[in-house]
Amino acid sequence: MTAPYRVNLDMATNEDLRQTFKLTDSLDAPVDLGGATLAMVLEPLDGGGGLELSTANARIVVLDAAAGEFELRVPAADMALVVPGVYRHDLLLRRDGRTHRIFEGTLTLVDGVTP
């Protein structure tokens, strides 16, 4: 089963990954994120290790639970440790013993020039 949304990102290893989202339902009403955890992994297309983002490690931050707003936050210092390439990802929302796949996509990471 595919996720309902596709999110493709492009960035460099010398910048912060900061992307804000607002999660809504099919009627465009905000999805309350209260009590939910969010998790995502950036995994290289060619296999190997990836980068974990989650509410547990503060690389995903809920900005306004009632409004369904959250942000991906990976500082440039952490992104500098990731090998340039194309990564696949998906975002999972877990709450009340259920897991929902929110979106999937790719992140294309190029080598930043300026330190």
We report the CATH number of the domain holding residue 79 as 2.60.40.10
Domain assignment present for 105: yes
Return the HEC string of 77-90.
Answer: HHHCCCCCEEEEEE
Q: What is the pLDDT of residues 64-85, one digit of tens each?
A: 999 999 999 999 999 999 999 9
Specify the number of domains making up the chain: 1
In a domain, 115, yes or no: no
Q: Could you read off the pLDDT of 1-29 as tens digits, one per residue? A: 567 899 999 999 999 999 999 999 989 99
d(CA 34, CA 101): 17
Domain that holds residue 66: 5-24+37-110
pTM above 0.85, yes or no: yes
Residue 60 lies in a domain: yes
Inside any domain, residue 56: yes
Q: Flag whether 29 is in a domain.
A: no
